[in-house]
Structure 1
Amino acid sequence: MTDEVKYPVFDAADHITNTDEAVSLLEAALEEAADDPGALPAALGIIARSGNMSELARRVDMSRDGLYRALSADGNPTWSTILQVTKALNLRVEIHPESRSA
């Protein structure tokens, strides 16, 4: 008889411990956004879960469940919600020109 080994479910939110890690995750999500438009909301959902989701929901004036749904893999948040969440996380969305090599 073999002993069954149980492993904990991996959640990336357990590994976001500071702003630099959150920014790195969002930068990677933006790079993937052309192929996967849900990448940015999903990354914001991971970052939101790494902290106090209830407090974040209060700051963006949404229910906790509504925020979970909006930032889930199947969510479809408005641009306004994305901007409100990034602001509440003390982050800012910026656009910069791409570097061009001569």
Structure 2
Amino acid sequence: MAIETTRWDVTEYLDDEEAIFAYVEAAFEDGDPALIKHALGNVARARGMTAIAKEAGVTREALYKALSEKGDPKLSTLLGVAKALGVRLTVSPVGPG
């Protein structure tokens, strides 16, 4: 008898501000641009891609393209998405030195 599985979708768990912030923060702490882009895309899907695109000042199609696996979003797009998601990108020192 084969085991039945269902696809796990992170967007089902991004249902409040605290979860979204923790998810995006973890992606930025990792520092991998592909992971950050993927995380922002997941949060945008969880919140509604059309609404996020509108708040970010881009078309829905442009947002999908920018946050896709092969996408390379401009800084202005990332800042717009971050603002639409209710987060702010900041800088801090990496460590001593």
Per the shorter chain, which TM-score range? 0.7 to 0.9
User: What is the percentage of aligned positions where both structures have the same residue?
Assistant: 32
Say whether 1:47 aligns with 2:13.
no
Deviations along 1:31-56, one digit per CA (max 9) or x if unpaired, are 222xx321111110011011121111
Q: Which runs of 4+ in 1 moved over 2 A?
A: 4-8, 96-100
2:13 — aligned with what?
A: 15
* Aligned partner (choices 23, 47, 54) of residue 58 of structure 1: 54
CA distance in 2, matches of 1:84, 1:97: 24
The root-mean-square deviation of aligned C-alpha atoms, in Å, is: 1.8
Cα distance 1:98–1:32, how it changes in 2: closer, same or farther (>3 A)? closer
| Alignment check: 8 A CA contact 2:38 2:68 kept | yes
Specify which of 19, 22, 25 is matched with residue 23 of structure 2: 25
Letter in 1 for 2:9: D
Q: TM-score, normalised by structure 2?
A: 0.83
Structure 2 residue runs of 5 or longer lacking an equivalent are none
The normalised TM-score by structure 1 is 0.79
Which stretches in structure 1 are left out of the alignment for 5+ residues? none
